Chain A
Amino acid sequence: MTHEDSRLWGRRLLRAWAVLVGLTVLSVGAALTGGSGQRSSLLAVAVALIASFIKARQVLDHFLDLRRAGGGWRGLFNALLLVILGLCFALYLAAGTSRP
């Protein structure tokens, strides 16, 4: 590995970490806008779930280096994440908890 490869790898990891921190702050901030004991707004819920998906992708692609694997593997992990988060979101909506 050349010095330049190593430098680019380090920058890629730093960028992924910055995205993870930024999305965490965003989703926590959105959740805290609601009052204590109140249900979350649909916007805050959407922000939390989309941020969760993007963060999971960052960890898979950059920290776990899944981007080096074939498209089939990335597709499998994408599908698994979407099924878990999608099912939880659908059940959340069915519970009627998105209404204030």
Chain B
Amino acid sequence: MSDAPADWGVLSELPGNPLMWVLILGELLVFGALFVGFAVVRLLHPEMVLAGQTSLSIPLGGANTLILVTSGYLAARAVLARSTSKVAESRWWLAGAAALGACFLVIKGVEYADKAAQGFGIETNGFWTLFYLMTGFHAAHVMMGIIVLGIVGWKNSVENLETGAAFWHMVDLIWLILFPLVYLLR
């Protein structure tokens, strides 16, 4: 059996595991379709969307953005630490990234509870259906990302860490587009 690295064709140019990049592209396309769908709903029902957005907290969404980008920074530092053979340090960076991911979910939970208390559910209207669908789907990725960070912290090779961190950065990337489109463009 050959020890030569697998030839992934043009995907070989990409850093980390090429399959993660296939996933990143796929996720961007799926979320991209949801974002455009949300923009179409705004076009068809501008007053309904504006009324829904008025109920959203920009500071809370902004705080979650700061939490997620900081978490992404910590995950990137974990890869840097592991690349210089600092295994224990890389685990601390990863633990920090995962802890901030958990903070993101807590804030999201507070936001959902607040909206539910105000009577806004997934069936209230098209805006709330899309809001819960997009942010809920994203939050599910955050949960999965925390698990992935835990696994690559345990099986702590450079490639595993690069791949797990790439998943985490993809989750970050999607939120950086979702937040302005849903919360800020009113």
Contacts and interface: CB of A to CB of B under 8 A. Distances in A.
Given A34-B186, A97-B46, A68 B10 contact: no
Contacts of A70: 13
Contacts of B40: 91
Contacts of B38: 88
Given A13-B73, A13-B80, A28-B58, A52 B180 contact: yes
Given A28-B62, A36-B54, A80-B32, A63 B75 contact: yes
Given A48-B185, A59-B172, A88-B35, A69 B15 contact: yes
A49 B180 CA distance: 7
A75 interface: no
Interface residues on A, range: 35 or more
Interface residues on B, range: 35 or more
A60 B154 CA distance: 25
A95 B186 contact: no
Interface in B44-64: 46, 49-50, 54, 58-59, 61-62
25 contacts: A13-B76, A21-B69, A28-B184, A31-B58, A31-B184, A34-B186, A37-B50, A49-B180, A51-B180, A52-B177, A52-B179, A52-B181, A62-B76, A63-B75, A68-B15, A69-B15, A73-B10, A80-B25, A81-B177, A84-B35, A84-B36, A84-B177, A97-B42, A97-B46, A97-B186
Interface of B: 10, 13-16, 24-25, 28-29, 32, 35-36, 38-40, 42-43, 46, 49-50, 54, 58-59, 61-62, 65-66, 69-70, 72-73, 75-77, 80, 83-84, 165-166, 169-170, 172-173, 176-177, 179-181, 183-186
Given A64-B24, A95-B42, 18 more contacts: A10-B80, A13-B76, A20-B176, A24-B62, A27-B184, A28-B184, A32-B58, A36-B54, A39-B186, A55-B176, A59-B72, A62-B76, A63-B165, A72-B10, A73-B13, A88-B181, A96-B46, A97-B49
